Chains A and B, each alone.
Chain A
Amino acid sequence: MKKSVPFLSLLVLACIMISCLACGLIMTKDPLYMDLTHCNEAPGKEFLFGTDTMGRDIFSMIWYGGRISLTIGFLATLLSTALAVLVGSVSGCAPARIDGILMRLTELILSVPPLLLTVFLQAVFGRANVYSLSVVIGLTGWMSMAKIVRTEVRQLKNTDYVLAAKCLGGGFFHVLFRHLAPNFFPSVLFMAVMNVRNAIVAESTLSFLGLGLPVEVVSWGSMLSLSENALFSRAWWTILIPGVFLVGTLLCLTNLGNYMRGNSNKRHSNLRGNE
């Protein structure tokens, strides 16, 4: 029962990513230009996806802002995954005392409400820009992954095949790359993809709440931060369109992540008989 490759998700994701990277070719207007004569215009010929309450063209903003959202997603993931693998594997290999300290620390940070942690950190960094926000999100997103990595390392360390490989004279790096990494990789990859997802959600939520990127910096989240005005003026397109792109990206990422995790249930259910 092999999982099929999620072609559709890959395709959609690739389309979104390429369009965002090549936004200069696609954009029909300047995404930053506030055309005050065309505020809150419904989708039409001139403005494909309409304009927001500040008169900016949503179609252009989608691609331009998507670039920033995705950048933050990937940068934050890079940081959080690196941190998680580092802490997790150190904790997994280290003696019990260091392991205990690291894990208590992780749990401590986990018990601070994530939103507050981001706000605190953001306050330390000062006014948010793309990089500081990535760092903040990365710094707040590594804990649960580190715990999983640690458990995984602990389990793998004690398996018989690692022992066998050592008995056959395999060196540390041989065991690591030939035996541990292949077992380790799918779940890390899965978690990394999920981290991209979480980082994008965090960015959009923070920007939406006005705690992340300011309105002038266009991202999917900051586009949605105008939605309160949009609700009053019934400009559904300012809410719906960026959201659809956001959710679509997240969904594709989730499908991709689930595919990378591989098969969880190899055996067949014992519950039903052959009738």
Chain B
Amino acid sequence: MSYLRECLKSDILCMSVGDGEMDLLRVENLSVSFFRPEGEIEALKNVSFSLREGEILAVMGETGCGKSVLCKSILKLLPDIAQIKTGHICIRGEEITGCSEKQMRKLRGHFFSMVFQNPMTALNPCMSVGEQIAEAVRLRRPQLTGRERKKRAAELMELVGLNPPGERAKQYPFQLSGGMAQRCVIAIALAAEPAVLFADEATTALDVTVQAQILELFLELRKRMGMSIVLVTHNPGVAARTADRVALMRDGELFRIGDVEEIFEEIIYNQNLT
């Protein structure tokens, strides 16, 4: 556990230097289209937002409004028929829109990380959980020896509540419950020690109690590791409970962004009107 703490501390120190000077992540006028044989489909239209250090931003909207595409287009994980048409993506003031796949790869395991919606399909069914976490650790810290890597993987598993790590590491994804599998995906995402964590409907596939536990975990991780989280959800309850700010999306457009109290008051007010 001690090693992890050290890493975390240094990360927090790193971040506090940049604090207040510029946004951690800024997206400006991002438009993304899917080019299918049937024609062009505009998935994102002029989306702009920014993310501050250590903040949790909830992105809310109906299913299919482009929330997932937004995350994936920032990480450049979209299939090759999708293209960024216009816009800029900047991290700490540096533009990454035109980055090559090779450069993006360095960012993915280090600066960005992502938790996917369905933990059961996101994990490789043919690899043990421990192996998959250790692989992420190896990519983040190649200098570690095999034993250190395993130790670190075990620490991560303990951190997300996969107990006892030794036994869990040998298990395969299909032997885990949905909540446990999602914890495993989160452990993989944390192995990257990211500055920004995208949680794409991370709790949607889980039942309510597990959902609550995972959200608690996010809050705790934010506190301990100081990372920013983009929480994609269509559940207002989740957003209200966890987020500092909320962005609302509809039909590929981000039409409203603001502090959580402000937005929810607005929503309640609008609902009362109708």
Contacts and interface: CB of A to CB of B under 8 A. Distances in A.
Contacts of A155: none
B76 A274 contact: yes
A275 B77 CA distance: 10
A159 B84 CA distance: 39
A273 interface: yes
Interface in A236-275: 268-270, 272-275
A273 B37 contact: no
The winner among B37, B79, B101 for most chain A CB atoms within 10 A is B79
Contacts of B17: none
B37 A274 contact: no
A168 interface: no
B6 interface: no
Contacts of A275: 76, 80, 100-101
A270 B75 CA distance: 13
A274 B80 CA distance: 4
A272 B80 contact: yes
A272 B100 CA distance: 12
A190 B82 CA distance: 33
A167 interface: no
Contacts of B79: 268-270, 272-274
A1 B82 contact: no
Interface string B240-266: 000000000000000000000000000
B91 interface: no
Contacts of B78: 273-274
B104 A274 contact: no
B272 to A, nearest CB: 39
A275 B97 CA distance: 10
Interface in B49-102: 76-84, 100-101
Interface string B9-44: 000000000000000000000000000010000000
B80 to A, nearest CB: 5
Residues of B in contact with A, size category: 10 to 19
B81 A268 contact: yes
Nearest to B99: A275
A45 interface: no
A1 B37 contact: yes
A259 to B, nearest CB: 17
Residues of A in contact with B, size category: under 10
Nearest to A2: B37
Contacts of A273: 76-80, 101, 104
Interface in A151-189: none
A65 B83 CA distance: 55
Contacts of B101: 273, 275
A273 B81 CA distance: 9
A4 to B, nearest CB: 11
A274 B82 contact: yes
Nearest to A275: B101
18 contacts: A2-B37, A268-B80, A268-B81, A269-B79, A269-B80, A270-B77, A270-B79, A272-B79, A273-B76, A273-B77, A273-B80, A273-B104, A274-B79, A274-B81, A274-B84, A275-B76, A275-B80, A275-B101
A262 to B, nearest CB: 16
Interface in A1-47: 1-2
A263 to B, nearest CB: 12
A1 B37 CA distance: 7
Contacts of A2: 37
A264 B16 CA distance: 51
A273 B78 CA distance: 6
Contacts of B37: 1-2
A272 B83 CA distance: 13
A178 B15 CA distance: 62
Contacts of B100: 275
Given A274-B76, A274-B83, A274-B84, 10 more contacts: A1-B37, A2-B37, A268-B79, A269-B79, A269-B80, A273-B76, A274-B79, A274-B81, A274-B82, A275-B101
Contacts of A269: 79-80
Interface string B91-119: 00000000011001000000000000000
The winner among A1, A270, A272, A275 for most chain B CB atoms within 10 A is A275
A245 B83 CA distance: 46
A225 B83 CA distance: 58
Contacts of B77: 270, 273
Nearest to B105: A273
A87 B79 CA distance: 43
A3 to B, nearest CB: 11
Contacts of A1: 37
Contacts of B76: 273-275
A2 B81 CA distance: 15
A213 B78 CA distance: 58
B133 to A, nearest CB: 20
Nearest to A273: B76
Contacts of B81: 268, 274
Contacts of A270: 77, 79
Contacts of A268: 79-81
